[in-house]
Homo-oligomer: A and B are copies of this chain.
Amino acid sequence: MLTDMYQVTMVYAYWKSGHHNDSSVFDMFFRKNPFGGEYTVFAGSEEVVRFVQTFRFKPADIAYLRTVLPTAEPAFFDFLGSLDASEVRMHSLPEGTIAFPRIPCIRVEGPLAVCQLLETTLLNLTNFASLMATNACRFRQAAGDDMTLVEFGLRRAQGPDGAISASRYSYIGGFDATSNLAAAMRHGITPKGTHAHSFVSAFTSFSDLPSRLIDGVDVVERALEVRRRLGFSSASDSELAAFVAYAQAFPDGFLALVDTYDTVNSGIPNFMAVATVLSELGHKPVGIRLDSGDLAYLSKRARSMFVAADARLGGSSALASSAIMASNNINEAVLHSLNDQGHQLDALGVGTHLVTCQMQPALGMVFKLVEIEGKARIKISQDVSKVTIPGAKDAFRLVGKHDIPILDLLVPTSESAPVPGRRVLCHHPFEEKKRVFVTPSKVIPLLVPVWIGARHEAFARAKAEAVAGDSDSDAKDAATATAGAAADAAAAGAATVAPSASGAAAEGAAAPRREGAALGHRVRFPTPTEVRSYVRAQLSILREDHVRPLNPTPYKVSVTAGLYHFIHELWSREVPIAELA
């Protein structure tokens, strides 16, 4: 039921006109990379497959739909109630694939009614996931490899599972940990967190401490001594009380939020006092967190205070190497600015800008019909960027010397795949003069089967036979190719998996196990950690100018010569010629 009303009204009209069972192919793709960049980390396919696997209207849903469509024939609701994804086949980019505009992220094949009904949910499950993974990946690029990045967005995310998705996909995109316990538990991500301002505010004096001891030593007395020795006379005692309470609970995990009263005059001195005592007792204090103010300045100031204090205390306090974490309103631009100014930060907590993708909160993934009953379909628009590329097609990444990807090529499923070492002509899909010969050293098939409905093969074969009796030979060829591909899909799994798709993804696709019970089978999906490594591996081989933050170069997505000419023939056949008078 997580779908748009118009899917159901359309399906009713398909059913009424006898087209509900038409063999159809839909492409899901996006037209523009987000955040002013030139790449997108595709994500969400595991959730898509889990949804498809159990797709079905429940009796309560059907009862509700009867009230919504009171004029529809009763038999239609029996039909709706009988639908599932057992006749559907789905190919997808492996989760975490670096994707580009117009590449089908998911290709769905099967009966028109079911494929149409899947549209909205597929878009919902991949749009935000891909946006989020891409956003996190950009934060990681801006922060550099050595920074610990923690996702702090639960409180500002767009709803509870907006938050859980944000945690999952920011981890995939390159974050190290999350503050969100539910997401950490569900996805096996490390949870991180210490304390808030309210913890500090909750203590008013040392008398709020039932005990002043850690390992038998009066920490309050000793910390006050250290604070005096370091020369800080205006630090807050209530803050010190709170820090002592926290250190008593976590003597080996002491990370103090230092900006409740005054970062430089109170928070940092109090941290240094307690950390010094913990060190003396053999514990390893962690560091501080800054949550307001000028983070570049304060991190450098904190570091120099640590170093100065350490020197004053004889150079053995380990203070100098305390971690400095920051967490106030950090976005990609702030990261670049921190880099420009120089900083002493070891870790960042990122919330709002990360999880709501403040810079651009939606990705324009779309789901378009590209073939029906073996006939290619095109969606025309006055705006060329909105014209769809017709027909069922595969996508290949052509890789050149030094393993560097050159471009991605869309190839109709009826044409043969490009071959390493053999020259292939690659056309821009719409601009006549933009074409290039490429001789790839390696060819990576991008679309791999992720869901094969138990009855898809029979559906495709029946369709091919019906069409074979037809006069339209184009359609016949296309349908036969589709049916053939369907029949071989499971066996071909290994061959169609992107070799770069990390060991696990490859293994998963190579050995599609029967996890979907009787309705079909799906591949084993890699773990979030495996997907995360796959993202990093691809980024490291992409040409730097495609992924740089400022004015990146677009990565080429091309079509074969055959597809180029087919697009333009279909276009001129379909578009009515306007008459001006």
A379 contacts chain B at the CB level, 8 A cutoff: yes
B18 engages A210 (CB within 8 Å): yes
A9 touches B250 (CB 8 A): yes
- The contact size tier of chain A is 35 or more
Q: How far is the CA of A559 from the CA of B271 in the complex (A)?
A: 35
Question: Inside 8 A of A248's CB, which chain B residues have their CB?
Answer: 13, 16-17
Against B, the Cβ 8 Å flags (1 = close, 0 = not) of A134-162 are 00000000000000000010111111111
Is residue A495 contacting chain B, with contact meaning CB distance below 8 A? Answer: no
Choose the segment among A89-97, A352-360, A454-462, A548-556 that binds chain B (4+ C-beta atoms closer than 8 Å).
A352-360
Q: How near does chain B come to A194, taking the closest CB pair, in angstroms?
A: 5
Least CB distance from A153 to B in Å reads: 9
Interface membership of chain A positions 1-35, coded 1 if the CB is closer than 8 angstroms to chain B and 0 otherwise? 11111111110111111110010101000000000
Q: Does A415 lie at the interface of the complex (its beta carbon under 8 Å from any beta carbon of B)? A: no
User: Which residue on B lies nearest to A366, using beta carbons?
Assistant: B155
B71, B166, B180: the one contacting A2 at CB < 8 Å is: B180
Collect the chain B residues with CB atoms within 8 Å of residue A450's CB. none
Q: Mark A240-258, 1 if CB is under 8 A from B, else 0.
A: 0000011011101100000
Complex Cα–Cα for A57 and B161 (A): 18
A235–B185 Cα gap in the complex (Å)? Answer: 57
Inter-chain CA distance A72–B574, complex, in Å, is 70
Shortest CB-to-CB span from A68 to chain B, Å, is 6
* Known contacts A185-B1, A202-B24, A245-B16: A128-B154 contact under CB 8 Å: no
How many Å lie between the Cα of A334 and that of B121 in the bound state? 28
Q: Are A4 and B234 in contact (CB under 8 A)?
A: no
* Nearest opposing residue in chain B for A115, CB measure: B198
A211 to B166, CA, bound (A): 49
How many Å lie between the Cα of A527 and that of B234 in the bound state? Answer: 54
A159, A253, A352, A578 interface centre (most CB from chain B within 10 Å): A159
A201 within 8 A of B: yes
A403 CA / B363 CA spacing, docked (Å): 45
Tell me if A160 and B2 are in contact (CB < 8 A). Answer: yes
Whether A234 and B577, one on each chain, are in contact in the complex, defined by CB atoms closer than 8 angstroms, is: yes
A329 to chain B, nearest CB (A): 9
- On whether the beta carbons of B17 and A249 are closer than 8 Å, the reply is yes
Q: CA A24 – CA B201 in complex, angstroms?
A: 11
Q: Mark A154-191, 1 if CB is under 8 A from B, else 0.
A: 11111111111110000000000001111011000001
Report chain B residues within 8 Å CB of A574.
Answer: 236, 238, 261
Question: When chains A and B are docked, how far (Å) is the Cα of A235 from the Cα of B579?
Answer: 10
Chain copies in complex? 2
For residue A192, which residues in chain B have a CB less than 8 angstroms away from its CB?
A: 5
Q: Does A361 contact B (CB under 8 A)?
A: yes
Identify the stretch in A311-319, A368-376, A421-429, A518-526 within 8 Å (CB) of chain B at 4 or more residues.
A368-376
Q: Does A293 sit within 8 A of B, measured CB to CB?
A: yes
Contact call B158/A369, Cβ cutoff below 8 A: no
A436 at the interface (CB under 8 A from B): no
Q: How far is the CA of A180 from the CA of B26 in the complex (A)?
A: 21
User: Closest Cβ of chain B: how far from A200's Cβ, in Å?
Assistant: 9
A155 in contact with B182 given A6-B196, A197-B368, A579-B234 (CB within 8 Å): no
Decide yes or no: A6 and B249 within 8 Å by CB, A159-B159, A234-B576 being known contacts.
no
**Among A380-388, A439-447, A504-512, the stretch in contact with B:** A380-388
Give bound CA distance, A161 to B265, whole Å.
Answer: 45
CA gap between A24 and B196 in the complex, in Å: 15
Report chain B residues within 8 Å CB of A165.
Answer: 158-159
Could you say which residues of chain B place their CB within 8 Å of the CB of A157? 124, 128, 158
Within 8 Å of chain B (Cβ to Cβ): is A116?
Answer: yes
28 example contacts (A-B, Cβ-Cβ < 8 A) are as follows A2-B164, A2-B180, A4-B179, A5-B184, A5-B193, A7-B193, A7-B196, A9-B195, A9-B249, A10-B194, A13-B199, A17-B248, A64-B185, A68-B184, A71-B252, A124-B156, A156-B364, A158-B162, A158-B361, A159-B159, A161-B162, A201-B378, A201-B379, A234-B577, A234-B578, A260-B379, A292-B383, A356-B361
Nearest 3 A-B pairs (CB), nearest first? A5-B193, A6-B193, A123-B155
